[in-house]
Amino acid sequence: MPRPENIRLCREIAAQGMVLLENDREMLPLAPCSCAFFGTDQEKMRFYAGGAVSVTTARYYVGAVEGLANAGFSVDQEMLSRYRGQEAYLPSQEVIDAAARCNELAVMILTRYTGEGEDHACYPGDFLLWEQERELLDRIGKAKFRKTLFLINCGAMIDLKPFHDFPGRKAMLLVWLPGMEGGNAIADLVTGKVNPSAKLPDTVGVDCASYPGTDLFRRHPWRVDYSEGIYMGYRYFDTFAPEKILYPFGFGLSYTAFSIHPVPAEDRGEEIAFCAEVRNSGKCAGREVVQWYLAAPGTDDLERPEKMLAAYGKTPLLHPGESCTVEASMRWQDAAFFDDRPGSADCGCWVLSAGEYGFSCGSYSRSTVPSGTIFRREKRVLQHCGILLQETTERRLTRKGAVDLHPSWDTLHDTEPEPPPRTRLPHLKEVANGDLAMAQFLKMLTVDELIHLLHAQGAAFPHGTAGIGNLPRLGIPNAQTCDAAAGLHISTEAVAFPCCVLLASSWDTVLQERYGKALGQEAYDYGCDVILGPGVNLHRTPFCGRNGEYFSEDPLLSGRTGGAVIRGLQSEGIAACLKHFAANNRETNRRQCDSIVPERALRELYLKSFEYAVREGDPLTVMASYGLINGRHTTANYHLLTTILKKEWKSRAVVMTDWRCLSSHLEEILAGCHLRMPLVPDDQEYVKVREAFDTGLLSRARLELLAGELLEFLMQTRSFKGGRETPQHVLKKDGITKIDALAFSEITATRTKIFPCHDPAGSAKGVCHGKLCRDYGGNDPRITFIVSSENPGETCTYRFRIRAAVPGNQVRVLYYLDRELLGELPLRSTFPAAEIKEDFVYDTWETQGDEEITLSPGPHELMIRITDPDNLGVSLNYLEFTAEI
């Protein structure tokens, strides 16, 4: 059951993250009045992004209509009824004029879908308005409404100029994807119960063509050229095209006014300190975001953008006349540039150039005042990294033009002799208690066990994402992962929080950390160990389908927001998984898309957001992206995963792939990737890894290195510390033992469903029903049970059967003991396949099988694999074991 305080937090976050972009003649705040809603989107307002981050199981969702009604607004029911159930209704001018005579306020909602696996485009109905939407906007403008409110409901930026140019008295609120309490939060802002304080995390251009990189976004199906280099977002607009800015980066209106008086920036050796006095000079209480920007010196052949965000801070709630001091800082290292110029003496280095570093301070990027300068007399080389991520782009946006080509590199190889066979089963708790060194524990594992650890396991509950570890006989838990960018993506009730770009728009790290804690509490309550998030990829263009799941176009704002969420999550004992590492800025063909990025742009932008998040949050896991960077899969890039993440940034994170990536598992292991997500023992990539070991291409030392780091992580999870017990079943040494089909330790099936048991003869509490279907990778469903004999010192033999309902004659059930295939259970069809319907509960039960298995002393993994070529679905009631005398 979701915690009530987390639902209240949903409303608070939504109100703090919605950006007020227009407020003509102080139209807002409004006392409750009569209003008419327009636009077909009022009935399909979106609250979360699509794909793996969707939260479809919230108890309720409050839309804008309901939210304003809850706040006392009188909603025109006749206008609502005209839209109800219609996909493309456009009211006539006469109908709108009539509504204007009866209502003081017109409310138009514009909604756009955003989600995983899909990108946006500069088309009507996507980035651009439909012609019908433009016509509606024009008709509302011609009507005599006293006030008009626009609610922009999206997860990625769209064309806002038509609303900006609207002729009447208007207000525009960018509500993003606001979560389950979104409508109530909108009402809080409209009525002034909450004073808006959010700021844009992106620059809004005047049109589609204004953004750099948009012309190359879809030009090639498998390749994206980052020819704009370091000039992305406001770095581009402020340097090359300030006239193309509609709303600047960091912009957002308030109902009150603030005066910001910065003191000169102070050089404190390794960092620069900032301070500003902020006073509420308006008429109501509110909060302000103070932003500092750096203008760094360049040279004729080394360019710097006009400005970059250096630091920021947010005031507490200030009442009229009240003031406070906001302090912040930045490291000198973050003011450096990365030199990737061929032939330069500093090529491959982070460099602080000599010259004047100018600072400015204000409420957004285009509204700042000078806040001091610091002059550095000498150039300083801070760190020599080398050119590690080969660039193959043919052109790059500079003021003079340049072409860089860099040499390739080789992967790591190592060797070590095989240890002697073990004489006993080790247990991971021996390592945790200090009774056994990790190195000794690893030497006692077989090669197959080491390889087993380096790929995902089945979930411990239906609709779970995947497990990690899962060697219970060795004390290694099956730690559970879960998608959760804005709430848990699970099959039971969960809190639907606002989307990540809304969270970043608050510019409030305290609030963001509270969000992380709340999400961690939800995860803990539902038995999760790892949250697959946050994502800190940058909004390179408005078109990436996952922009709603990411934070900002700026690496500092993205990284600090991500770091705050990570701290909150991990304070609750839940591991964060920072993703998607790196340069995942297009979803189209994401598994094969090659991002061709200059190394300097990678270092200063696309990797920098991850570096900030690692520094500020120390995530326990990191997820590599699907695609390639400069010709190499990120999951198989040694320099990215090991040299940069582990060695340069000192990260302790376990690295995993995204689901069903296309890179080689062997190359992933050589590059330092700990986990293939997911993989099963008969997968060809699994087989290739074993063959590589057998032929000497892969050493045991490499397997032990990654497995050891993975086990160090697993010992920190709640599953290992006792948060969730792995179901273990002791079989009677005489008589019959029945095991509930739902008492499994892991399940690998994508669309598994649980129904009540309808078998009068059955003792199980429910039916494990897969449709026990194949997963998205085409693998058969598997269910694993941990079993042992009642007498731990004896080897016992059992007759093994299942109670099941089987469609047709095509289904096969294979059974494995400790991952080794033992045989196949003989089955009989219990009903004809022609009678099967979607979500039908099959209750034609029959005891099936009757095979013999022998258990040696100790716990064992009994895995059932169901092969169902027609994907019709199998119901499983219970397992039955009869001891042989």
- Residue 213: per-residue pLDDT: 83
Asked whether the predicted pLDDT for residue 416 surpasses 70, the reply is: no
Which range (190-194, 197-201, 417-421, 804-808) has the least confidence?
Answer: 417-421
Q: How far apart are CA 245 and CA 157, in angstroms?
A: 13
Phi, psi of 335, rounded to the nearest 5 degrees: -95, 0
- Residue 575: per-residue pLDDT: 97
Grade residue 86 by pLDDT with cuts at 50, 70 and 90. confident
Three-class DSSP category at 81: helix
Cβ atoms of residues 545 and 503 within 8 Å: no
CA distances for 181 relative to 47, 114, 237, 516, angstroms: 9, 19, 35, 18
Instruction: Give the chain's mean pLDDT.
Output: 89
- Residue 26: per-residue pLDDT: 96
Question: DSSP letter at 115?
Answer: B
Which range (60-74, 352-366, 735-749) has the least confidence?
Answer: 735-749
Q: How far apart are CA 585 and CA 579, in angstroms?
A: 12
Instruction: Tokens for 151, please give them.
Output: 């609610």
Threshold 0.75, pTM exceeds:
yes
Percent of the chain with pLDDT over 90: 69
Q: How far apart are CA 311 and CA 305, in angstroms?
A: 16
Q: How far apart are CA 144 and CA 682, in angstroms?
A: 69
Element (H, E) at 328: strand 323-331
Give residue-wise pLDDT tens across range 258-267. 999 999 999 9
Nearest CA-CA partner of 505 in 155, 222, 793: 155
Give residue-wise pLDDT tens across range 811-825. 889 999 988 899 999
- Residue 225: per-residue pLDDT: 92
Cβ atoms of residues 586 and 217 within 8 Å: yes
Give residue-wise pLDDT tens across range 696-727. 899 999 999 999 999 999 999 999 988 667 78
Grade residue 406 by pLDDT with cuts at 50, 70 and 90. very low
Say what angle helices 608-617 and 555-571 make with each other, to 10 degrees: 30
Nearest CA-CA partner of 594 in 625, 639, 629: 629
Asked whether the predicted pLDDT for residue 255 surpasses 90, the reply is: yes
Phi, psi of 307, rounded to the nearest 5 degrees: -160, 160
Q: How far apart are CA 670 and CA 663, in angstroms?
A: 12
CA 538 to chain centre: 13
Number of helices and strands (H, E) in the chain? 21, 40
Grade residue 295 by pLDDT with cuts at 50, 70 and 90. very high
Give residue-wise pLDDT tens across range 492-521. 788 999 999 999 999 999 999 999 999 999
Asked whether the predicted pLDDT for residue 402 surpasses 50, the reply is: no
Asked whether the predicted pLDDT for residue 32 surpasses 80, the reply is: yes
Cα torsion through 264, 268, 272, 275, rounded to 10: -40
Q: How far apart are CA 774 and CA 871, in angstroms?
A: 7
Give residue-wise pLDDT tens across range 607-664. 999 999 999 999 999 999 999 999 999 999 999 999 999 999 999 999 999 988 899 9
Asked whether the predicted pLDDT for residue 320 surpasses 50, the reply is: yes
Question: DSSP letter at 810?
Answer: T
- Residue 465: per-residue pLDDT: 84
Give residue-wise pLDDT tens across range 835-865. 665 555 566 788 999 999 999 988 898 999 8
Please compute the mean of the pLDDT values over residues 270-297 and round it to a whole number. 97
Give the residue, 409 or 467, on which the prediction is more confident: 467
Question: Side chain identity at 4, as an amino acid letter?
Answer: P
